[in-house]
Amino acid sequence: MTDEGENFTTFNSRTLVEMVGDVTDEALKATKIKDLVGVLGGRFFNWAQRKSMFPLHLGIKCCALEMAAAGGPRFDAERFSAIFRSSPRQCDVLLVNGPISKKFADPIVRLWEQMPEPKWCIAMGECAISGGPYFQSYNILEGVDTLIPVDIYIPGCPPRPEALIDGFAKLREKIIRIGGVPSNQREHDAPIIIGED
């Protein structure tokens, strides 16, 4: 770790950490402890992710009132782990509850990109699924899945708060199945439509 032209040895802590990490990694792989920790840790993280899904505090249109009612005392989505956070950096679920206009296409993609992995998207209501009653409009995109990969579709105009809570339940089941697969690698999984069973 000696730079040429300098007459002292610089101690680069970053290189030291990398070297120690590589050595430990090789050791763990050789003794198969790494696989064990991966399996247990994966299961633990999966449990944590599906039991604490934090949606973003985003209200686009009418379905936002049903989302608020789902958070109200009668339906109470908070006991099912849905606590609404204001900053996208602290969320895992993007609940799209209204039509996406051309003006809002850019902000919603930016919100999606600001959310850290693993993240899921729920399209709530007809407008987010396919444009809804405004499918003929000059300003509304035909569904949020033209921009963002969607995991759960909740049909309804507006869907009842019970349907939204069912959507979260189906998302929990999906998380058990797909775990921490990043959102841009989920093409092999068909999105779930609530009410189809």
Positions touching other proteins (CB under 8 A) are 56-62, 65-66, 68-69, 72-74, 86, 88, 98-99, 101-104, 107, 111, 130, 133-140, 142, 157-158, 160, 177, 188-192
Q: Minimum Å distance from CB 91 to other proteins?
A: 11
Task: List the one residue out of 43, 188, 177, 161 whose CA is nearest residue 95.
Answer: 161
Q: Minimum Å distance from CB 180 to other proteins?
A: 17
152, containing H or E segment: strand 152-154
Q: Minimum Å distance from CB 41 to other proteins?
A: 24
Q: Minimum Å distance from CB 77 to other proteins?
A: 12
> Alpha-carbon distance 164 to 156, whole Å?
10
Instruction: Pick between residue 68 and residue 83 the one whose CB is nearest to other proteins.
Output: 68
Radius of gyration of the chain (CA): 22
Instruction: Pick between residue 32 and residue 74 the one whose CB is nearest to other proteins.
Output: 74
Instruction: Pick between residue 111 and residue 169 the one whose CB is nearest to other proteins.
Output: 111
